[in-house]
Amino acid sequence: MNMSLTELEEQEIITRITNLICDEAMGRDKIIQVFLNEGWECQEESINELIDSAIDKLNLLYSTPEYRRSVMEDHISKYELIYAYLREAGYTPGSNKALQAKERLMDVLKEGNKVTVRNSEITITETGVSHKYDLTKLTEVERARLQFLMEKAR
């Protein structure tokens, strides 16, 4: 194979490289070796340029708000499943850690925050900013966790 590629061929190779990075967790050296083992008659520099293009493509994808939101939603969902499983298994310390991880991910409870409850209205004070939260929007699990934390704080 020689390195005079059409734009379509180059894009297909870049897509393949992104798949090797994401699906196979391959690093630069292994990707170069894959292409050399397949009989590419080119210099490593040419493959490195394609790898750089693939990394640029991934960086662009991963920097979008939509991608970050989807990752956040995926992780929150996983923490909720872990919480439910551990709670059902009766392992309270583990289920509490799963909820704490979810809360950290959502930036609900940062170190140093102060939680105040008055007439079913919750105020979380963080670094000089006060927010009010509508408890009717919490899930049962979130309400139970909040109740647990409030009882623990007293």
64-119 tens-digit pLDDT: 888 878 888 888 889 889 989 998 999 988 888 887 788 777 765 555 555 555 65
How much of the chain exceeds pLDDT 90, in percent? 10
pLDDT value at residue 106: 74
**Separation CA 100–CA 45 (nearest Å):** 46
Answer whether residue 133 shows pLDDT above 60.
yes
| Rounded-to-integer distance, Cα 100 and Cα 77, Å | 14
Question: Mean pLDDT over residues 43-65, rounded?
Answer: 85
d(CA 42, CA 87): 57
Task: Judge contact between 135 and 120, C-beta under 8 A.
Answer: yes
pLDDT at 154 over 70: no
What is the model's pLDDT at position 1?
A: 41
- Assign 2 a pLDDT band (cuts: 50, 70, 90): very low
Please check whether residue 57 is in contact with residue 18, taking contact to mean a CB–CB distance below 8 angstroms: yes
